[in-house]
């Protein structure tokens, strides 16, 4: 019941964004940008992620980040994350300055739910080279949910932690244990049992609850959180999941373009002559939004 209440609240209070056949959107989730230490799962994909974002910027896409962009459970200070991945944040700033960037908070950056934290961390930053304060995302509003309003249907975008007891109501306690215990266990290979990305039973239980809500409300949903890519095929519930950007071999996301939706994969591939090359592949779709 609590999951239903949380999802219905997110739907009711979502920011509304109209879309049409001219709209171009890319959605990534669960980037988990860290401080470039041994516990930073994003570090090995940062070049791949940057290349993908540069492609989408040049092609005129809007970037919507579906939560857990920054790993604020393991790392207490956002400034260390911004410094470690300063090139990424300068690219995100270009999207934001062009009014093509929306950020949704997840359980691992839940503190961005609070305006004071957003203002303190995201409005501006200190440039380490010039020793001056520079704007980053001045005035940004980090959201719980977005509804993309299409002529044929509304599409709800959330992170996906809503109603996940240990990662929603108990997020502060979970953050404490991850920051001061599981972070170090993680480095040597142990898995956090509270994470749906690491616990298959937990993930399936969460997806079952969400599927029931989707069915009862006839609501198309795109989310992250579980780290498991999902693309709705013909005859299935309209549930989509972007996957994650911390997979060992690739990053996955969901594109909406020309009234179609598709799942894409970015990875390092090998050309016939042995040269390594960043490659983009459509792994699922495309499907017309009007057919879902």
**Annotated domain spans of the chain:** 2-291
What's the average model confidence in pLDDT over 237-251? 95
Q: What pLDDT is recorded for position 165?
A: 58
Q: Is the pLDDT of residue 149 over 60?
A: yes
Mean pLDDT of 218-236: 95
pLDDT at 200 over 80: no
For residue 257, give the 3-state DSSP assignment.
strand
- Average pLDDT across the chain, whole number: 89
- pLDDT value at position 210? 92
- pLDDT the model gives residue 22: 97
**How big is the chain, counted in residues?**
292
Kindly tell me if the per-residue pLDDT of 73 is higher than 80: yes
Whether pLDDT at 122 is above 50? yes
The single-letter DSSP state of residue 181 is: I
Alpha-carbon distances of 273 from 51, 250, 269, 276, rounded to whole Å: 21, 21, 11, 9
Q: pLDDT at position 213, please?
A: 95
Average pLDDT over residues 280-290: 96
pLDDT at res. 248: 87
* pLDDT over threshold 90, residue 100: yes
- The pLDDT of residue 207: 86
Do residues 32 and 41 make contact, with C-beta atoms less than 8 angstroms apart? yes
> Which residues does 37 contact at the CB level (< 8 Å), separation at least 6?
none
Averaged over 154-180, what is the pLDDT? 71
Mean pLDDT of 63-91: 94
Beta 239-241 vs 24-28: how paired, if at all? unpaired
Flag whether pLDDT at 166 surpasses 80. Answer: no
Pick the more confident residue, 40 or 85: 85
Per the CB < 8 A criterion, the answer to whether 63 and 55 are in contact is: no
Q: What is the pLDDT of residue 164?
A: 67
* Average pLDDT over every residue of 53-78: 95
Tell me the pLDDT band of 194, cut-offs 50, 70 and 90.
very low
C-alpha separations of 105 from 33, 66, 67, 235 in Å: 13, 7, 4, 31
CATH architecture of the region 2-291? 4-Layer Sandwich (3.60)
∠ CA(6), CA(8), CA(14), 5° rounding?
Answer: 100
Mean of pLDDT values over 115-120: 97
What percent of the chain clears pLDDT 90, i.e. is strictly above it? 72
Q: Please list the residues that pair with 60 across neighbouring strands.
A: none
């Amino acid at each position: 019941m609590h999951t239903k209440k949380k999802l219905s609240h997110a739907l009711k209070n979502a920011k509304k964004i109209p879309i049409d056949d001219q709209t171009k959107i890319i959605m990534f989730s669960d980037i988990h940008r860290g401080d470039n230490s041994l516990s930073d799962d994003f570090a090995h994909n940062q070049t791949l992620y940057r290349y993908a974002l540069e492609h989408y910027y040049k092609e005129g896409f809007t970037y919507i980040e579906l939560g857990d962009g920054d790993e604020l459970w393991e790392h207490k200070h956002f400034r260390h994350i911004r410094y470690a991945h300063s090139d990424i944040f300068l690219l995100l700033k270009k999207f934001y300055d062009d009014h093509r960037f929306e950020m949704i908070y997840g359980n691992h950056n839940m503190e961005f739910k609070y305006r004071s934290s957003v203002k303190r961390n995201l409005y501006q930053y200190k440039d380490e080279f010039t020793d001056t304060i520079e704007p980053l995302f001045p005035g940004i509003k980090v959201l719980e949910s977005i509804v993309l309003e299409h002529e044929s249907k509304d599409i709800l975008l959330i992170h996906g932690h809503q109603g996940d007891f240990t990662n929603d109501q108990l997020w502060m306690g979970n953050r404490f244990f991850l920051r001061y215990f599981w972070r170090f266990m993680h480095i040597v290979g142990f898995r956090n049992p509270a994470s749906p990305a690491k616990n298959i039973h937990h993930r399936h239980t969460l997806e079952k609850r969400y599927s029931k809500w989707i069915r009862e409300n006839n609501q198309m949903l795109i989310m992250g959180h579980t780290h498991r890519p999902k693309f709705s095929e013909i005859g299935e519930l309209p549930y989509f999941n972007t996957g994650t950007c911390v997979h060992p071999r690739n990053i996955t996301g969901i594109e909406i373009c020309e009234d179609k939706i598709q799942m894409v994969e970015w990875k390092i591939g090998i050309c016939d002559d042995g040269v390594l090359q960043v490659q983009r592949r459509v792994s699922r779709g495309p499907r017309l939004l009007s057919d879902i």
